[in-house]
């Protein structure tokens, strides 16, 4: 990519990639402005090397961005899963409050939004479908599922994942 080029030429390619003008490149490398301009013309000495450098660097940056996005998404899922597990554990403790409250769901929702870099104030959502009644209905469904078999835990086995998904209409 930059093999076979002297240090000034390599630096010129890097400076141009970083958005420096021909004037800035000429000042930094102490070459005439016209020389810097000629290097990057269609048939200039550095044109092909610059194109290759830009493509490779763009590809590496995109791969890094995609990896970071995937890691953030995985972290969001992990944190949300842990929050839900904590609430489920809260339900299974003796003398514990027997219901997950709407506040619990709102807290989990806010954690997800914060981790995704999204606003948590519902008023800023601009009709994104947030509906308190729908949230209450979903909370009630989940309470029923989590409480299923709780009273007679010894008599019935816990619900399978398939049964839970069916109850949640997944």
Average pLDDT, the chain: 75
Instruction: Indicate the SS3 state at residue 124.
Output: helix
What distance in Å separates the CA atoms of residue 133 and residue 121, rounded to the nearest whole number?
17
Q: Is the dihedral of CA 136, 168, 90, 120 positive or negative?
A: negative
Kindly list the domain boundaries of the chain, sorted by start residue.
Answer: 7-55, 131-170
150: Cα separation from own chain's centroid: 37
What distance in Å separates the CA atoms of residue 87 and residue 77, rounded to the nearest whole number?
15
- Residues sharing a CB contact under 8 Å with residue 87, sequence separation 6 or more, in sequence order: 100, 104, 108
Higher pLDDT: 141 or 160? It is 141
Helices (H), 5-101: 7-17, 22-29, 33-40, 47-92
Higher pLDDT: 13 or 140? It is 13
12 with 46: CB under 8 angstroms?
Answer: yes
CB neighbours of residue 104 within 10 Å:
19
CA proximity to 99, closest of 165, 134, 146, 138: 146
Lowest mean pLDDT of 24-28, 40-44, 84-88, 149-153, name the range.
149-153
pLDDT in tens, 85-144: 776 676 666 655 555 666 767 777 777 677 666 777 655 555 555 566 766 676 677 766
């Amino acid at each position: 990519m930059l093999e076979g080029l002297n240090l000034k030429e390599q630096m010129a390619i890097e400076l141009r990639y970083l958005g420096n003008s021909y004037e800035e490149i000429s000042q930094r490398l102490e070459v005439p402005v016209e020389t810097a301009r000629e290097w990057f013309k269609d048939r200039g000495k550095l044109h092909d090397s610059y194109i290759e450098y830009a493509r490779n660097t763009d590809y590496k940056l995109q791969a890094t961005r995609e990896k970071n996005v995937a890691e953030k998404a995985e972290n969001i899922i992990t944190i949300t899963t842990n929050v839900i597990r904590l609430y489920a554990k809260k339900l299974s403790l003796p003398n514990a409050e027997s219901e997950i409250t709407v506040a619990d769901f709102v807290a989990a929702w806010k954690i997800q939004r914060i981790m995704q870099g999204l606003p948590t104030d519902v008023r800023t959502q601009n009709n994104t479908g947030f509906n308190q009644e729908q949230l209450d209905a979903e909370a009630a469904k989940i309470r029923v599922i989590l409480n299923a078999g709780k009273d007679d835990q010894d008599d019935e086995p816990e619900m399978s994942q398939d049964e839970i998904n069916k109850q949640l209409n997944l």
